[in-house]
């Protein structure tokens, strides 16, 4: 029962959502719209579950005196946002948005910008033309880096033209092949999931 019911539900909803694509019957449209709504609502609950899980693990760590200050700060942050939203709303000028704009967003952007330094370090230490394929990769990267800055356009219009040609033809051809492969693979996986052959989503409770 623990496996059969979910597999049956997956089959039913998968078949409905696949078949509705080919039908304009009002019943099919109604089923489609309702399932889209249910999907949206259930998905929202997954965040609540995730947040509850995070709180549970953080409190457990605090009780075991493991990384207590950091877990406490994280929990305070988690609790602070809903309190601010309840107290002051979420519109422009609210404390909720103020915290997002002046604390969360700048930190998020800065964490991501750290990658620039590591990319520079990797460019020096790891980017070697050891083999022919590696040399091709390196040359393509350098052409893009040179061709996409304004100063090289001033020196010669050839640089951006070569960059665009590489981007729009050989690079695009490889990406297209990857996309086709992914498309075919996704379709077969979707069919396997609907038919109950692929059951990995049933694990991990």
Partner 1 sequence: MDRLRVRWIIFSSLFIVVVLSYLITLRIETTPSPEVRRAFDYLENLPDSSVVMISFDHEASSLPEIQPITLALLRHAFRRNLRVVGLSLFAEGTAIGYRMLNKTAQEFGRVYGQDYLFLGFKPQHISAILGMGESIRRVFPEDYSGNKLDNLALMKNISNYGDITVVISIADGDRTVQWIEYAGARYKQKIIAGITAAMITTYDPYLGSGQLYSAVGGLKGAAEYENLDGHLGGGNRGMISQTAAHLFIISLIAIGNILYFRNRKGRG
Partner 2 sequence: MDWGVMIAGLLTLAIYSFLYKDNPVYKAAESLLIGLSIGYALVIYWQTTLMDILFYPLIRDTKLILIIPLVLGLMMFSRFTRKFSWLSRIPIALMIGAGAGVAIPAMLYARTLKQVSASVQPMIENGNFNISALVVVIGMISTLAYFYFSREHDGVMGKVARLGTYFLMIFFGATFGYTVMSRLSTLIGRVDFLLIDFLHVIQ
The residue from 28, 62, 85, 162 that contacts partner 2 (CB under 8 A) is: 85
Residue count (the chain): 205
The residue from 87, 129, 137, 197 that contacts partner 2 (CB under 8 A) is: 137
Closest approach of Cβ 75 to partner 1, in Å?
19
Nearer to partner 1, 68 or 90 (CB): 90
Nearer to partner 2, 44 or 155 (CB): 44
**H-run or E-run covering 144:** helix 132-147
Nearer to partner 2, 119 or 156 (CB): 119
Contact flag: residue 129 with partner 2 (CB under 8 A): no
Contact flag: residue 187 with partner 2 (CB under 8 A): yes
Cα distances (Å, whole numbers) of residue 196 to 2, 3, 12: 14, 10, 11
Distance CA 86, CA 13 (A): 37
Distance CA 154, CA 86 (A): 55
User: Residue 76 binds what, of partner 2, partner 1, none (CB under 5 to 8 Å, by partner type)?
Assistant: partner 2
The residue from 59, 129, 142, 197 that contacts partner 2 (CB under 8 A) is: 142
Are 14 and 5 in contact by the 8 Å Cβ rule? The answer is no
Nearer to partner 2, 83 or 156 (CB): 83
User: Residue 165 binds what, of partner 1, partner 2, none (CB under 5 to 8 Å, by partner type)?
Assistant: partner 2
Chain centre to alpha carbon of residue 130: 33
User: Residue 205 binds what, of partner 1, partner 2, none (CB under 5 to 8 Å, by partner type)?
Assistant: partner 2
User: Residue 12 binds what, of partner 2, partner 1, none (CB under 5 to 8 Å, by partner type)?
Assistant: partner 2
Closest approach of Cβ 29 to partner 1, in Å?
7
Distance CA 17, CA 112 (A): 38
């Amino acid at each position: 029962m623990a496996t059969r019911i979910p597999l049956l539900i997956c089959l039913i909803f998968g078949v409905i959502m696949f078949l509705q694509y080919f039908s304009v019957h009002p019943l099919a449209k109604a089923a489609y719209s309702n399932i889209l709504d249910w999907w949206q609502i259930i998905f929202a609950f997954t965040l609540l579950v995730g947040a509850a899980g995070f709180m549970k693990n953080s409190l457990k760590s605090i009780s075991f005196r493991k990384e207590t200050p950091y877990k406490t700060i994280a929990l305070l942050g988690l609790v602070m946002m809903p309190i601010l939203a309840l107290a002051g709303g979420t519109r422009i000028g609210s404390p909720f948005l103020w915290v997002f704009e002046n604390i969360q967003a700048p930190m998020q952007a800065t964490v991501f910008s750290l990658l620039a330094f590591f990319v520079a370090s990797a460019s020096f230490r790891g980017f070697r033309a050891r083999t022919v394929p590696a040399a091709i990769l390196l040359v393509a990267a350098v052409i893009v880096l040179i061709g996409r800055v304004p100063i090289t356009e001033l020196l010669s219009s050839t640089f951006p033209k070569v960059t665009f040609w590489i981007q729009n033809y050989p690079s695009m051809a490889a990406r297209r092949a990857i996309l086709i492969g992914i498309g075919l693979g996704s379709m077969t996986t979707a069919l396997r999931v609907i038919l109950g052959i692929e059951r990995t989503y049933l694990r991990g409770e």
